[in-house]
Amino acid sequence: MSEGNSGYTRRRLIQTGTAGAVAAGLGTAGSAEGRKRRRPRKADVIVVGAGYAGLTAAYRVARKGKSVIVLEARDRVGGRTLNHVLPGGKWSELGATFVGPTQDRVLALMKETGVKRFSTYDTGDNVYHAGGMNQRFSDTSPFGSAPPDPTTAADVALVVERLDMMSTSVPPDAPWTAQNADDWDAQTLYSWVKQNSSGSKQFMNLVQIATEPIFGAEARDISLLFTLFYIAASGNEQNPGTFERNFDTRGGGQQWRMLGGTQLVPIRLAKRLGHRRIFLNSPARRIVQSHGGVHVHTDRLTFHGKRVIVAVPPPLAGRIRYDPLLPQNRDQLTQRMPMGTLIKAEIFYDKPFWREDGLTGQFLSDEGPISASFDITPPDGKPGIIMGFIGGDRARVFQATPARQRRQQVLSELQKIFGDRALHPKQYLEFSWVTQTWTRGCPVSVLGPGTLVGFGAAIRKPVGRIHWAGTETSTYWNGYMDGAVRSGERAAAEVLAHI
């Protein structure tokens, strides 16, 4: 059976990682081993974090003939990607799921690691559930994945057009330098939309439906400048970003999926690096810089390198102890970049029955836990899987609800969209990234008013021998897998220039 069908299950990955840790000297006892542990393990570059960013950086460094060690706090690689393995070698994703046009670097890395793509199911109509009513619509209309609701259509057209236009004046590599940065970073997305639209309840609900899955946050939580940067970043050097590219399936960031699941790329990168270079269950606790290099301390071992790349979410980077202390602006920045609040619900059926009714499986809803959904059925059509995003306020309320009621709330919402067959799934699964110790939320760090203008310039600036990676540091496709890959490649180039 191919690797794509059997070689990347979480159990096997953990077993492989554990074996690698033992082979590297983490799992044996005795006085001789104790003496070894007191001697730092050495490499040219130490990478903290084995997600897309960290493994990309490590792989690029290793390809240039330099030695590298990767430290990962979890018992697996992949970061914010996580495959859920199904019978028969099939999969679903509990983390990042989609890729799309202009995401050049992750698409190139997929090709390099032999991971193929296939189209997200998008045949038929989407559903907009609002005010207790269902409205079917096609994403081939001028509105794309936004519903052509007559009560909100004028507002959607006006606000999206203005946001896209304003974003063209925001440099993706330095949004804090935009001409209107001070004004835009002094207000929230919510306050700006309220002042520049009808402000109707229906439209403000639709704004909430958009921000919850994209950011894991409410419009009141994020600054207008951060929103404009996010839009500007959803492109590449040749194609300016647009709001639609974040939101749409067809032509947008949700157009394709990876055959074998999104965790397959980091698993293959890890295999190419080799288990002796990767230390699982090894959270970096302290980073000490000196003229002779940098020491990274974990609970059991110390590692020495010429440079270190910290490739973890900013809130987690801020929990590491640094000696000497980080500059004030860098330290303050990580305190102002909380992770979004996002839960994924996945509901499994014998088959994707909604397709028989001419539906894509994609819906937007102003009631119930799920704000937006996708059909993530495997390519062969079985089992049928609906994946729903539960973000922001909805996620916080949902998380505080007893498990049995949570399941019932989700199925009740699906019944309103897809009919009674939705009440009888084969399996129900939910995954909260907020409860993951080494992530603390998803999909991305969110920036409130004042953060970009006051502290944004520190996001990528090296601190001595410390370099920063992670999707939040990317100039393009910030918050996406492509942004993570870009950041890893940039950080690798930085350290290679110094060693």
Write out the two tokens for 115: 């991971």
Rounded to whole angstroms, the Cα distance separating 96 from 260 reads: 13
How many Å from the N-terminal Cα to the C-terminal Cα in the chain? 42
Query: Pick from 51, 48, 53, 39: which is nearest to 465 by CA?
Result: 48
DSSP string, 217-250: S-GGGSBHHHHHHHHHTSS-SSS---HHHHH-ST
Query: Pick from 255, 169, 163: which is nearest to 482 by CA?
Result: 255
Say which CATH topology domain 3-80+261-326+463-496 has: FAD/NAD(P)-binding domain (3.50.50)
pLDDT tens, position by position, 268-318: 999 999 999 999 999 999 999 999 999 999 999 999 999 999 999 999 999
Query: Pick from 183, 175, 312, 311: which is nearest to 233 by CA?
Result: 175
Write out the two tokens for 83: 């495959």
Confirm or reject CATH 3.90.660.10 for domain 121-150+341-441, answering yes or no.
yes
pLDDT tens, position by position, 133-186: 999 998 877 667 788 888 899 999 999 999 999 999 999 999 999 999 999 999
Where helices occur in 64-184 by DSSP H, the ranges are: 104-113, 153-167, 181-184
> What pLDDT does 151 receive?
87
Rounded to whole angstroms, the Cα distance separating 352 from 358 reads: 11
Per 3-state DSSP, the chain is made up of helix, strand and coil in percentages (nearest 5) of 40, 20, 40
Domain map (residue ranges) of the chain: 3-80+261-326+463-496, 121-150+341-441, 152-238
> What pLDDT does 37 receive?
56
3-state DSSP assignment of residue 468: strand
**pTM confidence score:** 0.92
Query: Pick from 54, 19, 114: which is nearest to 491 by CA?
Result: 54
Rounded to whole angstroms, the Cα distance separating 200 from 23 reads: 62
**Mean pLDDT split into 10-residue runs, the chain, 499 residues:** 37 37 32 56 98 99 98 98 94 98 99 98 96 90 77 94 98 98 99 97 95 98 99 97 93 97 99 97 98 96 98 98 98 98 98 98 97 97 98 97 98 98 98 96 98 98 99 98 99 98
Residues 152-238, CATH architecture:
Orthogonal Bundle (1.10)
Q: 338 in the Ramachandran plot: left (φ > 0), alpha (ψ -120 to 50) or beta?
A: beta
Write out the two tokens for 371: 């704000």
Cβ atoms of 101 and 255 within 8 Å: the answer is yes
Could you give the dihedral angle defined by the CA atoms of residues 282, 288, 289 and 290, in that order, rounded to the nearest 10 degrees?
Answer: -120
Question: Distances from the Cα of 107 to the Cαs of 77, 83, 245, in angstroms?
Answer: 19, 18, 16
3-state DSSP assignment of residue 273: helix
Tokens 């970096």, located at residue: 284
> What pLDDT does 147 receive?
86
Tokens 């894509």, located at residue: 360
Rounded to whole angstroms, the Cα distance separating 284 from 53 reads: 16
Cα 22 from chain centre: 30
Cβ atoms of 50 and 20 within 8 Å: the answer is no
Write out the two tokens for 248: 């749409």
Same CATH fold, 152-238 and 121-150+341-441?
Answer: no
Question: Distances from the Cα of 391 to the Cαs of 209, 221, 405, 447, in angstroms?
Answer: 9, 12, 17, 16
| 391 CB-near residues (< 8 Å, 6+ apart) | 211, 212, 213, 215, 216, 217, 340, 341, 342, 343, 371
Cβ atoms of 440 and 339 within 8 Å: the answer is yes
Query: Pick from 327, 372, 378: which is nearest to 348 by CA?
Result: 378
DSSP string, 287-302: EEEETTEEEEE-SS-E
Cβ atoms of 413 and 370 within 8 Å: the answer is yes
Q: Which amino acid is at 224?
A: L
